[in-house]
């Protein structure tokens, strides 16, 4: 159900012909209200796709009535003509729904540097608008897939009396910054919440979920996460509780993305403990997550902890090299910067791998998630343009 | 001839049994003088191997009589015991040669986190000392190979009357910072030059060669580049001329390393023009060189210039996204941040690929070199520990 699990939302997914495969490639999500509050978080890449530029702009008033998403083309690095295409798409949605174009967000994903075939996209939008349904969340989630092998959907509900629902869909084996490929996420809720609250909730949810997934260190031009509230439940939640629900949905989607990362065979959680600060812990976690040599070794089921230390050594975090401890799947293979228990005790045969690096420099701690680097990844990213 | 091309040097390479394959794994280079001036440049990784710690220390007085190098073990993350092993190795060389241990540099490469088998290494050093020869440069270059498929050697001579020679050997498909695997380089010259001059010459030579090769973004714990001067030619050169010769040798070695990078099929030069400053140009060049998605695309002969722009966008360099130009093998596929000439015109079938990115933000320009990301790289780094 994903984006239509919460009351007040309809969605659709159709095949407009943007993908050579003929699979669904246009999704539409509509907020029927009564509220139209919304917030967004976007890529930090300075080269931003036209739909990112457009959606940032329309979100300045904290209102959205609809989100139109397409796969089959990123509409990035397409110049003023590409921006005009995004604008025309939003106008087309607005006309079909009887709302203002300034209430329509646009998200695109696919190859960079190619114009979208508007003669296929706009009729597709018309069809999607005609097929909107309160059970259309699954079809919408299908339509935003690119190299995803499965659609990603998640739903959570509040535990109190008047039930509030949060649902979301996502695409990408990715993170917000950086990403393996474009990550697009739409989260909807029927809670009553104003735009300022949604903005705080969404930023906090992203910070501890998508922002801590680092699949391949590459930051997309199109990453977008949107949160829409219809208020249709008539219920408002304490901000902390709403944050918890939205975070749970984002965390679930992030995990699904990693589990489906291009060519991956391992899902790797890297927990940095004993850091002097959270930024230190994050820098170290990311450095480990981005080390190609380590990621290859883990693909090969090799507990090569020296590559973990080599990665830590590239950071500016507070630590002493001779105090570093590293555990892999519960075996402390490195103690005080030197060999600890035998690496032969480490079993890396399963998909889940846990690495714990203790800096012994403070009390801060966090976990970054990544995946391995495989010949499957190389194949998917060399055999055809994405 | 490499390190024995210049007068005043002898070298040897022997098989001590450190490598399971039984191939040569211990090299010795001796400076017979009359001078013993030397300089070194080391990894910036904060986790530094015992031989790096040792060699930095003995180089503080700018003198070296010998360099002993071993493959088959990095002696990194081995604690105080590992440092004692390095010290013992230097003492052993000193005794064999009749010099002081403080005049002996040590370099190691191989797996991190494992102690060296001293009962094999020390007898190997004894044999190497017995086999020292003024034509031993080639054998020494062979003995420092790890995953290198060929040894790397380069020689240049001055064009003036009294000839000065600079020769060098290297291992690694790598760079000084960061590196694909440990890079070890020893350069020798028979020029008369003091340690301070050698230090300036070597830093400048590294800055424009090894520092601008970025194979896989991974910074080794063991990277070392040493420059030794015997003064045996009796000639001194203007500093600029010596810098030119040493730079030429380093550039040649850097090119050989890239040409032999693990699993690579493409050698990629990334020239950044129109940058506001050299640091800006370097940041952009490195960001492009480290983009896994681009490196996979180039492996697949796909001129996916959108990934170049996405990489540029992750930097803090001065530029406007709608002014970026990108050429691939002479075809300007991106003009003003939008599609330029057809990507179909780009021929990426050869090994050499040239990418030019013009930031239109100033006059600074430089070139960073890298290679593609292939299933061969994944295989070499996952199938066994390195």
Kindly report, residue by residue over A37-86, the tens digit of the pLDDT. 999 999 888 889 999 999 999 999 999 999 999 999 999 999 999 999 99
In tens, the pLDDT along B307-326 reads 899 899 889 999 999 999 99
pLDDT at A314: 86
Per CB-CB distance under 8 Å, the chain A contacts of B115 are 339
Query: Is the preceding peptide bond at A34 cis, omega within 30 degrees of 0?
Result: yes
Neighbouring residues of A70: CB distance < 8 A, sequence distance ≥ 6: A16, A18, A25, A26, A27, A107, A108, A109, A110, A116, A121, A124, A144
**Pairwise CB contact (< 8 Å): B77 & A375:** no
Average pLDDT, stretch B88-112? 96
Q: Report d(CA B209, CA B92) in Å as an integer.
A: 34
Predicted-assembly ipTM surpassing the 0.85 threshold: no
- What pLDDT digit, counting tens, does each position of B157-179 carry? 998 667 999 999 999 865 444 44
| pLDDT band for position A161 (cuts 50, 70, 90) | low
What is the architecture of the domain spanning A267-382? Roll (3.10)
Predicted pLDDT of residue B123: 98
Reduced to 3 states (helix: H, G, I; strand: E, B; else coil), residue B157 is: strand
Confidence of residue A177 (pLDDT cuts 50, 70, 90): very low
Cα–Cα distance measured from residue A288 to residue A269, given in angstroms and rounded to the nearest whole number:
10
Is B171 annotated as belonging to a binding site?
yes
The DSSP code for B333 is E
Task: Locate the chain A residue with the closest alpha carbon to B293.
Answer: A381
Calculate mean pLDDT across residues A252-260. Answer: 88
Closest residue on chain A to B296 (Cα): A382
What is the C-alpha to C-alpha distance for residues B139 and B132, in angstroms, rounded to an integer? Answer: 10
Per-residue pLDDT, averaged over A103-111, amounts to: 94
Q: Which residues of B touch A324 (CB under 8 A)?
A: 47
Chain A interface includes B373 (CB < 8 A): yes
- Mean pLDDT over all residues of chain A? 91
Best of A82, A382, A384 to disrupt the B interface by mutation (most B CBs within 10 Å)?
A: A382
B366 or B44: which carries more pLDDT confidence?
B366
User: In CATH terms, is domain A2-259 a member of 3.90.76.10?
Assistant: no
Instruction: Specify whether the CB–CB gap between A70 and A49 falls below 8 A.
Output: no
- For chain A positions 157-186, those within 8 Å of chain B (CB to CB) are 178, 180-181
> For B234-241, what is the mean pLDDT?
95
The domain limits of chain A are: 2-259, 267-382
HEC per residue, chain A:
CHHHCCCCEEEEEECCCCCCCCCCCEEEEEECCCCCEEEEEECCCCCCCHHHHHHHHHHHHCECCEEEEECCECCCCCHHHHHHHHHHHHHHHHHHHCCCHHHEEEEEECCCCCCCCHHHHHHHHHHHHHCCECCCHHHHHHHCCCCCCCCEEEEEECCCCCCCEEEEEEECCCCCCCCCCCCEEEEEECCCCCHHHHHHHHHHHHHCCHHHECCCCCCCCCCEEEEEECCCCCCCCCHHHHHHHHHHHHHHHHHHHHHCCCCCCCEEEEEEEEECCHHHHHHHHHHHHCCHHHHHHHHCCCCCCHHHHHHHCCCCCCCCHHHCEEEECCEEEEECCEECCCHHHCCCCCCEEEEEEECCCCCEEEEEEEECCCHHHHHHHHCCCC
Residue A383, pLDDT above cutoff 50? yes
Does A182 appear as a known binding residue?
A: yes
Q: How far B4 CA lies from chain A's nearest CA (Å)?
A: 33
Residue B359 Cα, gap to closest chain A Cα (Å):
13
pLDDT above 60: residue A175: no
A178 — pLDDT class (breaks 50, 70, 90):
very low
Interface contact B320, partner A, CB < 8 A: no
What are A3's two structure tokens? 């984006």
User: What percent of chain B clears pLDDT 90, i.e. is strictly above it?
Assistant: 74
pLDDT at res. B180: 44
Nearest to residue A250, comparing CAs of A185, A198, A197, A193? A185
The mean pLDDT of A262-269, rounded to a whole number, is: 88
Share of chain A above pLDDT 90, in %: 74
């Amino acid at each position: 159900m994903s984006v239509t699990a919460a009351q007040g939302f309809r969605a659709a997914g159709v095949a407009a012909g943007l993908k050579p495969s003929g699979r669904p490639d246009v999704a539409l999500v509509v907020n029927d209200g009564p509220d139209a509050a919304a917030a967004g978080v976007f890529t930090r890449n300075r080269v931003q796709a036209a739909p990112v530029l457009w959606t940032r702009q329309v979100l300045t008033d904290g209102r959205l009535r609809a989100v139109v998403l397409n796969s089959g083309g990123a509409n990035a690095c397409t110049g003023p003509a590409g921006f005009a295409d995004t604008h025309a798409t939003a106008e087309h949605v607005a006309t079909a729904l009887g709302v203002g174009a300034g209430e329509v967000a646009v998200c695109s994903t696919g190859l960079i540097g190619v114009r979208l075939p508007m003669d296929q996209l706009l009729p597709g939008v018309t069809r999607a608008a005609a097929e909107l349904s309160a059970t259309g969340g699954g079809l919408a989630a299908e339509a935003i897939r690119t190299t995803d092998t499965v659609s990603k959907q998640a739903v959570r509900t509040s535990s109190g009396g008047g039930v509030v629902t949060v649902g979301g869909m996502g695409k990408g084996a990715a993170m917000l910054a950086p990403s393996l490929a474009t990550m697009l996420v739409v989260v909807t809720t029927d809670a009553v919440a104003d735009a300022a609250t949604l903005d705080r909730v969404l930023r906090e949810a992203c910070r501890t979920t998508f922002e801590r997934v680092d699949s391949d260190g590459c930051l997309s031009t199109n990453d977008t996460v949107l949160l829409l509230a219809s208020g249709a439940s008539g219920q408002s939640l304490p901000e902390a509780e709403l944050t918890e629900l939205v975070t749970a949905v984002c965390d679930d989607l992030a995990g699904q993305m990693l589990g489906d990362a291009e060519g991956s065979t391992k899902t790797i959680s890297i927990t940095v403990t004993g850091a002097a600060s959270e930024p230190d812990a994050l820098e170290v976690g990311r450095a480990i997550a981005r080390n190609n040599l380590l990621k290859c070794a883990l693909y090969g089921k090799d507990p090569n902890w020296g590559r973990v230390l080599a990665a830590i050594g590239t950071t500016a975090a507070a630590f002493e090299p001779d105090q570093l401890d590293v555990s892999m799947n519960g075996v402390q293979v490195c103690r005080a910067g030197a060999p600890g228990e035998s690496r032969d005790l480490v079993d890396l045969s399963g998909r889940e791998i846990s690495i714990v690096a203790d800096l012994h420099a403070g009390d801060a701690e966090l976990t970054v998630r990544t995946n391995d680097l495989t010949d499957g990844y190389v194949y998917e990213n060399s055999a055809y343009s994405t």
